[in-house]
Amino acid sequence: MDALLRRLLRTGMRRGLGGEWSWLALAGAAFVLRRVLSDGGGRVSRLEVKPGEQVLISVSDGRAVATPVAAPIDVSSGPS
């Protein structure tokens, strides 16, 4: 599928820049379709983990409002 879209994009650009506006529109559609169908946008990073190692993955929302966290209570010292 990618090879077909790549060929349409190349041919459409060549003919479109030659003066045929409909081919230029076809090239634009092929470009958008290739970008939408590409699988490269899903992975953010790659990390190799060796046996015995641990990885902590944390996800945060930049739009979320931060909520204050209460200080931990120390119960080991006993009543005051």
Give the count of domains, the chain.
1
Q: For residue 52, tell me if it sits in a domain.
A: no
How far apart CA 45 and CA 57 sit, in angstroms, is 12
Question: In terms of residue numbers, what domain contains 23?
Answer: 2-37
Residue 63's pLDDT band (boundaries 50, 70, 90)?
confident
**Residue 1 vs residue 16, higher pLDDT:** 16
Share of the chain above pLDDT 70, in %: 79
**Is 17 within a domain?**
yes
* Within-domain flag for 29: yes
The answer for residues whose C-beta is within 8 angstroms of residue 5's C-beta and 6 or more apart is 30, 33, 34, 37
